[in-house]
């Protein structure tokens, strides 16, 4: 499914999002110019740790126009990779990821997942129990663990 069946419309045509957010985006990056460099450094680190591996970077930042888009969540849901409800402990989706990632990762591959506040230990344990090794934890600007990197053991 393409972006709400609006594949020929840009973000500007869908409510003027890019125009409305540009002043905030520009002010944010002007106040924190280290962010793009930090993102570049993190991507370089991942690529250097897994030479020859495929790297997919996904972002929901929404600050650019597009001519065509894929509704990734719809595709993930239809193919059984997305949990619409994390269950009572919020870890349902991570259980699914922990189960299928060892089959999908290439030997030099690296899985990166965004985690919620307080979930680092539980998700690390799930991944470890399913044959993955946690190789890095990245914190957000507030110092909260936000991304886990895992590889095959």
Residues 4 and 76 in one domain: yes
Residues 61 and 87 in one domain: no
Report pLDDT for 73: 72
Residues 76 and 108 in one domain: no
Tens-place pLDDT, residues 27-73: 767 777 777 777 778 778 877 877 777 776 665 555 555 565 667 77
Residues 127 and 105 in one domain: yes
C-alpha to C-alpha distance for 9 and 3, rounded to whole angstroms: 9
Last residue of a domain, one of 59, 82, 105: 82
Total domains in the fold of the chain: 2
121, 145 Cβ separation under 8 angstroms: no
Residues 98 and 147 in one domain: yes
The backbone region for 143, taken as left when phi is positive above 0, alpha when psi lies in -120 to 50, beta otherwise, is: left
Report pLDDT for 6: 37
Tens-place pLDDT, residues 116-142: 899 999 999 999 999 999 999 999 888
State what percent of residues in the chain have pLDDT above 70: 71
Residues 45 and 72 in one domain: yes
Residues 90 and 26 in one domain: no
* Domain, as residue range, for 92: 83-153
* 4 vs 61 pLDDT, higher one: 61
Residue 2 — very low, low, confident or very high, per pLDDT cuts 50/70/90?
Answer: very low
Report pLDDT for 137: 93
CATH at 148: 3.40.50.150
Residues 52 and 88 in one domain: no
């Amino acid at each position: 499914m393409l972006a709400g069946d609006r594949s020929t419309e840009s973000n500007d045509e869908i409510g003027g999002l890019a125009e409305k957010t540009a002043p905030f985006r520009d002010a944010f990056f002007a106040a924190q110019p280290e962010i793009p460099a930090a993102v570049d450094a993190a991507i370089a680190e991942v690529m250097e740790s897994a030479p020859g591996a495929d790297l997919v970077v996904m972002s929901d930042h929404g600050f650019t126009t597009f001519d065509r888009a894929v509704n990734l969540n719809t595709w993930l849901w239809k193919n059984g990779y997305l949990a619409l409800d994390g269950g009572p402990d919020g870890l349902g989706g991570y259980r699914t990821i922990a189960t299928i990632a060892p089959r999908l990762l290439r030997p030099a591959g690296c899985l990166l997942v965004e985690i919620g506040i307080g979930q680092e230990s539980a998700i690390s344990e799930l991944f470890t129990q399913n044959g993955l090794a946690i190789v890095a934890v990245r914190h957000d600007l507030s110092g909260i663990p936000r991304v886990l990197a895992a590889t095959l053991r």
